[in-house]
Amino acid sequence: MNDEKSALQTMLCLAVITLLLIGCGSKETVSTATTVPSTDKPVTPAVSTTEFTTAMPMPSPRAISPATVAQLEKLNTLSGHTDRVSAIAFSPDGTLLASVSADGEIKLWDVESGQEVSTFEHSGGACLVAFSPDGALLASGGLDHVVRLWNVESGQQVHTFNRYDGSVCALDFSPDGSLLATGSIDRSVRLLEVASGQEAQNLAGHTTPVFTVAFSPDGLLLASGSARPESHIKLWDVESGQEIRTLVGQETDVHAVAFSPDGVLLASVGPMAEVKLWDVESGQVMRDLGGHNGNVFGMAFSVNGTLLVSSSDDGTMKVWDVETGRVLRSFRHGGEGSTVTFSPDGSLLASDGSGNTIILWGILR
């Protein structure tokens, strides 16, 4: 049985995120159907070994736009993790950056200074992080089949949800912060009530592991994407839990999905350089963006929706003009290409980098 679990974990790691792809661990835990009390340690002080590429606080960058993207450059490198970084997320006010690594630690960074603020311990191995819309909570999930909700200020766990029969591959808060959507290797898409920590809905329909979930900007829709051989993107009505439509056309695993800020488009990425833009209303592919030479894992829209950035294990990030589908900038990130995101004000890009680091990119004024 252990060999079967290990083999399944290895197969699924190939399409989740780079952390799973490189094997942050294959520990399997027994999941139960009850909410368990928190026994994990609180936030620990920042370590003293953190290194920075700049000694002074980072200068205020300009907004990243089609007109300025050619000036994008590396502004800072955050070091402190002892293994590869798998996921990053900005706090809603842009002052903090959360990161999670194969070393099992979730770190909070001060964006302006580059200083490590605190460390969370998600026992069993975390691969994902997401901030609540008000910035008060941080969600983590991963290999231990558990989703944990943390109070950012105190570092204490608020809720622990462990009804999964496999690793948790995706997390996203609803725009109003009342729900947390999750996707898992057990093929489930679940909506959790943030206030109570209880399951609100289990959206059944996928027949293969679910690697990604994303709420629409108005919170009315949820998109979920699955592994091959299904390789479907499903759109769900959040209130009723009913499936609205299935987007068919992704050639293999759906690694990530994201709605454009106006909710009109949905972007998806996957293996074999897949980067697609879909029309949400019709469910049709609007643009098929080629260009990468490897698997694409990270992807994000800019704040105003004019740009899409994609990150690949071919060592590059590409910034696309959403309207034309043209590549405006291609540059090397130096990492595994597992994650990339824009800051809330659109002035920074954060990505994983080489040597277990996080890189902040921007345009100096």
**Per-residue confidence (pLDDT) for residue 58, from 0 to 100:** 63
Percentage of the chain lying above the pLDDT 90 cut: 71
At 15, the pLDDT band (50, 70, 90 cuts) reads: very low
Banded pLDDT at 207 (limits 50, 70, 90): very high
CA distance 78 to 70: 23
| Share above pLDDT 70 across residues of the chain, in percent, rounded to a whole number | 84
- C-alpha to C-alpha distance for 150 and 136, rounded to whole angstroms: 8
Q: pTM of the entire structure? A: 0.85
Q: Which residue has the higher pLDDT, 261 or 121?
A: 261
What topology is assigned to 2-364 in CATH? Methylamine Dehydrogenase; Chain H (2.130.10)
Q: Report CA dihedral (330, 333, 336, 337) to the nearest 10 degrees.
A: -50
* Partners of 90 in beta bridges: 97
Q: Which two tokens stand for residue 280?
A: 């949400």
Amino acid residing at 246: T
124 versus 302: the higher-pLDDT residue is 302
Pairing mode, strands 275-279 and 265-269 = antiparallel
pLDDT digits (tens, 9 = 90+) for 34-90: 233 333 444 443 333 333 333 346 667 889 999 999 999 999 999 999 988 999 999
| Exposed e or buried b per residue across 162-184, where buried means at least 16 C-beta atoms within 10 angstroms of its C-beta | bbbebbbbbbbbbeebbbbbbbb
Would you state the pLDDT for residue 59? 61
Task: Give residue 288's identity as a one-letter amino acid code.
Answer: D
Which string of DSSP letters, residue by residue, matches 92-140? TTSSEEEEEETTSEEEEEETTT--EEEEEE-TT-EEEEEE-TTSSEEEE
| 145-150: average pLDDT | 94
* Mean pLDDT, the chain, integer: 85
Question: pLDDT for 253-301, tens place per residue?
Answer: 999 999 999 999 999 999 988 999 999 999 999 999 978 999 999 999 9
Whether 170 contacts 213, CB under 8 Å: yes
Taking residues 146-155, what's their average pLDDT? 94
Plot region of 237 (φ>0 → left; ψ -120 to 50 → alpha; else → beta): beta
